[in-house]
C-alpha cells in the first residue's frame, strides 16, 4: 500500500494501516518530501516567535513502526503500470510499485493571476515559509532602524497580509504584537510606527465564522492597530510596493499571501475527474472506476454527506484527520480485512488564536471570545497535536512565552531567493 503525503491525512492513514493489516499481509510505504507532518494551525505562532519550528513538526518515525518511508515527491502516477514516479529531495528518481494507492498530498497556496503575486509574495503553508517570514520582518525592522530616510523607514515598517480567513487574521493579529515588541528594542524605531494592513475581498474578517465572532476579531485587530481593509484586494505587487484595488499604492517590501489554497498540482496529472483541482472520490474515499486508488484530505473532493446540496467537505485539518481512519479501514477492507464504510462528519467549529489572551472560537456552536476562547483554543491544539513529545514542547513554549520576553533573533535558514511561494512549496516540480 503506497501512501502519498505525510500530513494530517497521510501520516494518520499509514499509522492506522499498520494496526489494521498484519505484517505479512501488506507492505506499507509512505512517500513524502518531509520526515514529519506539520501541525499547520500553529504556523502563525512560529512566525510570531512564540513556538519553535520543530515543536510543531511531528516526526513520522515517532508514530510509525514498520512502514517504509521514502523522502521525495511523487511527480506522476502511471495507473496502467501501477507505479508512481518519485523524485527524492536530493534530485535522484525512482519508480515505486503499488497495489493500493492512497493520495494525500494536501494543497499549496493559491496565488491567482495577479501581476507580481507569484514573484513577490510570501506564503504561510510550511515551516520554511513561517520561519522565513519571521526573519524577513525582523530584517525589515533592522533596515528601518538603520536609515534616516523617512520614506524608506515607513516602507520597511509596513506589512500587508492578503486574506482575512483564519490564517491571515491570526497572522496579522499575532505579528502586530510581535513586531511592535521587536521595534521597542530598536533605538530609532517607535513601536507605533509599525503598520500591518489586512485586506480581503469579503465584507468581514473570518467570513467562515458566525457574525458575532467576526465582529469580536475585528475589534481585537482594530484595538491592536491593524489596518483592516474589507472589500479590498491587490491589483499588482512590485518589490517595494503593493497596489490595492481601492486605488491606494502602499509602499511596502512585504506581502503575505493567505488568500486560500489549491490542491496539490499532482492531482491534475492523473487524468481523472477533478473539481477545482480536487480529485473526486465517492463517500468511501475511493476514486470512481479506480477501486484501488483512494484519496483524502485537502487534495480530494469528498462528498459532504451532512448536506443535501452536493457540496464537498471543507479543506480543513478537521476533515483530513477524520477521513484518515475511514480511508485506512476501506483500504484494509479491499485487501480482505474488515468492512468498508462511508465518510460522514459534521463540522465541530473553529478556533482562532489572536495571540495573548485573545481568541475567538465556536466549538459545537457555542460562541466564545477572550480568555475562555483562548483557553479552549490552546486546549484543543494540545489535544490534537498527534504526539506527546510535541504536545509537551508546545505547552512549554506557551508557558515560556507567558513568563519570559520573546527571543527576537533571525535564523536565516532559507535564503531570500528560495522564499517565493513556487520555490518554498515546490510547485515547479510538476512542470
Ligand X SMILES: Cc1cc2nc3c(=O)[nH]c(=O)nc-3n(C[C@H](O)[C@H](O)[C@H](O)COP(=O)(O)OP(=O)(O)OC[C@H]3O[C@@H](n4cnc5c(N)ncnc54)[C@H](O)[C@@H]3O)c2cc1C
Chain residues that interact with ligand X, rule: CB under 6 A: 4-10, 31-34, 37, 40-41, 43, 73-74, 104-106, 124-125, 166-167, 264, 266, 297-299, 315-318, 320
- The span from the CA of 165 to the CA of 182, in Å, is 25
Where does residue 395 fall: left (phi above 0), alpha (psi -120 to 50 degrees), or beta otherwise? alpha
Distances (CA, A) of 176 to 46, 134, 201, 352, 409: 14, 12, 21, 16, 16
Q: How far is the CB of 364 from ligand X (least distance, A)?
A: 15
Of residues 2 and 199, the one with the C-beta less far from ligand X: 2
The residue among 36 and 241 lying less far from ligand X, judged by its C-beta, is 36
Measured between alpha carbons, how far is 49 from 42 in angstroms, rounded to an integer?
A: 11
Nearer to ligand X, 26 or 72 (CB): 72
Contacts 24+ apart (CB under 8 A), 303-310: 305/342, 305/343, 305/344, 306/344, 306/345, 306/346
Q: What angle do CA 101, 36, 259 make, to 5 degrees?
A: 85
Angle (CA) 330-335-337 rounded to 5° is 70
Helix (H) / strand (E) element for 369: namely strand 368-369
Nearer to ligand X, 93 or 150 (CB): 93
Determine the residue with CB nearest ligand X: 7
Q: How far is the CB of 366 from ligand X (least distance, A)?
A: 17
Q: How far is the CB of 429 from ligand X (least distance, A)?
A: 7
- Distance in Å, CB of 39 to ligand X, minimum: 8
Task: Return the number of the residue (147 or 269) whose C-beta is nearest ligand X.
Answer: 269
Minimum Å gap between C-beta 151 and ligand X is 32
- Give me the residues paired with residue 243 across strands: 236, 249
Please report, for residues 197, 206, 235, the alpha-carbon distance to residue 169 in angstroms, rounded to integers and kept in the order given: 11, 7, 20
Rounded to a whole number of angstroms, the minimum distance from the CB of residue 230 to ligand X is 21
Nearer to ligand X, 122 or 144 (CB): 122
Give the dihedral sign, CA 45/359/259/427: positive
CA dihedral 302, 303, 306, 310 (to 10 degrees): 140
Cα distance between residue 212 and residue 361, in whole Å: 10
* Least CB distance to ligand X at residue 313 (A): 10
Q: Which is nearer to ligand X, 41 or 355 (CB)?
A: 41
Q: How far is the CB of 342 from ligand X (least distance, A)?
A: 19
Q: In the complex with ligand X, which residue's Cβ is closer, 250 or 352?
A: 352
Amino acid at each position: 500500500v503506497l501512501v502519498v503525503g505525510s500530513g494530517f491525512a497521510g501520516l494518520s492513514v499509514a499509522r492506522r494501516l499498520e494496526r489494521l493489516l498484519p505484517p505479512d499481509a501488506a507492505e506499507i510505504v509512505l512517500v513524502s518530501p518531509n520526515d514529519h507532518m506539520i501541525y499547520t494551525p500553529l504556523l502563525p505562532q512560529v512566525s510570531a516567535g512564540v513556538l519553535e519550528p520543530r515543536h510543531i513538526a511531528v516526526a513520522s518515525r515517532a508514530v510509525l513502526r514498520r512502514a517504509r518511508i521514502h523522502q521525495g515527491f511523487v511527480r506522476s502516477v502511471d495507473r496502467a503500470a501501477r507505479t508512481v514516479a518519485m523524485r527524492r529531495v536530493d534530485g535522484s528518481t525512482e519508480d515505486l510499485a503499488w497495489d493500493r494507492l492512497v493520495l494525500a498530498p494536501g494543497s499549496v497556496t493559491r496565488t491567482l493571476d495577479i501581476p507580481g503575486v507569484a514573484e513577490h509574495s510570501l506564503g504561510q503553508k510550511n515551516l520554511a515559509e513561517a520561519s522565513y517570514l519571521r526573519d524577513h520582518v525582523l530584517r525589515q525592522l533592522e533596515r528601518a532602524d538603520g536609515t534616516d530616510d523617512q520614506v524608506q523607514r515607513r516602507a520597511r515598517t509596513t506589512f500587508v497580509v492578503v486574506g482575512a480567513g483564519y490564517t491571515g487574521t491570526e497572522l496579522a493579529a499575532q505579528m502586530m504584537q510581535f513586531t511592535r515588541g521587536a521595534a521597542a528594542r530598536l533605538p530609532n524605531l517607535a513601536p507605533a510606527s509599525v503598520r500591518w494592513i489586512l485586506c480581503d475581498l469579503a465584507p468581514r474578517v473570518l467570513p467562515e465564522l458566525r457574525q458575532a465572532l467576526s465582529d469580536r476579531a475585528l475589534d481585537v485587530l482594530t484595538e491592536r492597530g491593524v489596518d483592516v481593509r474589507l472589500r479590498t484586494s491587490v491589483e499588482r505587487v512590485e518589490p517595494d510596493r503593493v497596489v490595492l484595488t481601492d486605488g491606494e499604492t502602499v509602499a511596502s517590501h512585504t506581502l503575505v499571501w493567505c488568500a486560500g489554497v489549491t490542491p496539490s498540482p499532482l492531482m491534475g496529472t492523473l487524468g481523472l475527474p477533478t473539481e477545482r483541482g480536487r480529485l473526486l472520490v465517492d463517500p468511501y474515499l475511493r476514486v470512481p472506476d479506480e477501486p484501488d486508488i483512494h484519496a483524502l484530505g485537502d487534495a480530494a473532493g469528498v462528498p459532504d454527506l451532512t448536506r443535501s446540496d452536493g457540496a464537498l467537505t471543507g479543506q480543513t485539518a478537521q476533515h483530513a484527520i477524520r477521513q484518515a481512519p475511514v480511508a485506512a479501514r476501506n483500504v484494509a477492507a479491499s485487501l480482505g480485512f474488515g468492512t468498508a464504510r462511508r465518510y460522514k462528519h459534521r463540522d465541530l467549529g473553529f478556533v482562532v488564536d489572536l495571540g495573548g489572551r485573545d481568541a475567538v472560537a465556536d466549538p459545537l456552536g457555542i460562541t466564545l471570545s477572550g480568555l475562555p476562547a483562548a483557553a479552549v483554543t490552546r486546549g484543543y491544539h494540545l489535544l490534537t497535536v498527534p504526539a506527546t513529545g510535541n504536545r509537551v514542547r508546545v505547552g512549554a513554549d506557551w508557558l515560556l512565552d507567558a513568563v519570559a520576553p520573546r527571543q527576537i533573533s533571525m535564523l536565516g535558514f532559507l535564503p531570500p531567493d528560495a522564499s517565493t511561494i513556487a520555490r518554498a512549496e515546490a510547485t515547479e516540480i510538476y512542470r
